Chains A and B, each alone.
Chain A
Amino acid sequence: MTQATLAPPSSPAATAPGPTARRRRTLHNSEARGAWTLMAPYLLLLLVAGVIPICYAIYTSLQKAPTPLQPEAGFGGVQSFVTVFTDYRFWATLGNIFSVLLVWLPLMILGIVGLALLVHASPGRFGSAMRFVYYVPGALAGIANFVLWVYLLNPGQSPIGFLLEGFGMSTIKAVAAPDNLPVILAGMLFFQGVGTWIIVVNGGLNGIPDEVFEAASLDGANSWQVAWRIKIPLIRPWIGYAALMNLAYGFQLFLEPYLLDQVASGAIADQWTPSQLGYAFAFSNYNFPAAAAMSIILLVITLGIGLLIVFRSGLFGEEEK
């Protein structure tokens, strides 16, 4: 389980059982041809929705930003990256992301692990009913989750309006103040995301053989000790996976701050996250090279996290054997 995902590729011929070498080779030719034919639609989509846009973004980022005097752009080298890095908002957006991650990630991991352990300790109908309830908000992804939170955060009609007003906030503009944003966003993301991950981690817990628990109870371990000493160490790959996936997710935050800014009539910076900054480069400044450079920076960050997940989480590659 802790082994790296892609073990050194063994040559196909060595693993393939076949009566004679020649038959094996012809078989392999037709097998490979069949495989590529079957994968053709997927590979085409990978090209159109993955490879080409990335290459085109790299190409675009190396162009000069068009100006009114010089509408035709030419090769600009790394100028667009300089534009991004020296933009006064760039480091601020990264700081904002970290301020959200600081609140959200610990809350998320604690919630996922804690609730998954509780669900796992409750076999039968109560446990599965609770697991379902925790999953329900996950169905309200995207804008629906956002409108629900507007309902919660607008003191005028919120069921927790008395609390918000108790803190001296009587309008949604006051609630969505920049200082509160990390907590609000952490709440939104937790609410919509935790349920799915409880199911994933719960799946990991269900994979632990019963004998392990039997042995533990024979040794006189109580339920706390079982959870702490046995379950948590055994589901560590899933916890790491959840942490990294959510970390990557954090870097692309867009919808929530973008729309909060809209309902809070400008209480928040228009470009609060890196994705918003990239969007502004493209759609407000029409500076496509800078927008492309911004996406490449984000791509590199999430690619790094993605590589960590695939190679280090230990969750992928088991089925290779």
Chain B
Amino acid sequence: MNALAAFAAGLVFGIGLILSGMTDPGKVIGFLDLAGRWDPSLAFVMGGAILVGYFSFALAGKRGRTFLGGALHLPTRRDIDARLVAGSAVFGIGWGLAGFCPGPALVSLGAGIDQAALFVGAMLAGMVIYDAAERLAARKASSPAGRS
């Protein structure tokens, strides 16, 4: 049931990405190009998503459990550290270079676009490198309590 809900959510998410224009790297770069001919569309994407999201997450928080009776898995960290800022900045550089972020890249892969396949392959490689580096760091640290 959880998996079925997740599939439906992924499908709606992907259709939203296509309709919004996020799967067009030219449009994404047009939004980031403040000094050129600026396309403000993506501000409307975020505005629409956050408008719906704000009330949904408020409802989820108030209920405390899902409608299927399961537990909520929500992030609890509130600290702002160098990893958060530097990691996000590195992501932003990659985003600006190609105009793809993870969701639209996967949808474009589903549409059979070759360049998206290359991008997703490289993205997965980056994630595998991160995972390996984290495992190595955890093994080096004497304390057995790793980060969550």
- Genuine A/B complex: no
